[in-house]
Amino acid sequence: MPSAKILASKQERVAKLAEEMKDAKSFVFVAARGLTVAQDTVMRKELRDNGVTYEVIKNTTLKRVFETLGIEGVNDLFEGPTAVAYGDNVTTPAKIIAKYAKEYEPMEIKGGVVDGKIASIDEIMTLANIPDEQTLYSQVVYGLLFPFTKLAMLVKAVAEKKEEEGGAPVAAEAPAEAPAEAEAPAAEEPAAVAAEAPAAEETPAE
């Protein structure tokens, strides 16, 4: 039977973990086996850089921690060596763990907890495929602005077309003055005929 000192140490460990995990939005449980030191180091660095805590914890300790947190139904996930990734962002732990689970074949996702509810492997993978906040924000903004952008493009196209159509008559009016120049000789013909008439009458005078 464990001594009182050992029991106190375990209880302290459970209380500390529960305090650290109480504000986490999501947890991803991983079968912690098969990774090389180099692979584990690379993955842990990316998790840490993105505000995700990753730790291998004894199953008995995990059971007590989640019991303390009031989350039920997770005990079946704690079989074999278990690591847990958690953070205050709902999607980040799932995204990073899913990424390395694809790259490192021995790594296996067991399931998780999202907003206090048990999540299956499929649900964790679905969560991993949700766009990050920045991408999602950009998509929402584009979706809101697209109708206005489309309208602005349409108005511009109509304005340009009207401008082109409005310029065509101006170019067509220039040749309209040409007939006036062509008619000038026609106006002089009566004068020429009048000038020739007296010349025709001079013959009888002789």
Q: For 109-156, what is each residue's pLDDT tens digit? A: 999 999 889 999 999 999 898 876 655 555 455 455 455 555 555 666
pLDDT the model gives residue 100: 94
Q: Is the dihedral of CA 56, 66, 106, 46 positive or negative?
A: negative
Token pair recorded at residue 119: 């999540």
**pLDDT given at position 161:** 67
Residue ranges for the chain with pLDDT beneath 50? 139, 142, 145, 168-176, 178-206
Looking at residue 154, its pLDDT comes to 60
Amino acid at 179: P
**pLDDT for 147:** 58
**Tokens representing residue 148 in the block:** 């206005």
Tell me, what's the pLDDT at 62? 95
Cα separation, 158 vs 136, whole angstroms = 33
Predicted local distance difference test score (pLDDT) of residue 145? 47
Residue 85, phi then psi, degrees to nearest 5: -115, 130
d(CA 62, CA 28): 13
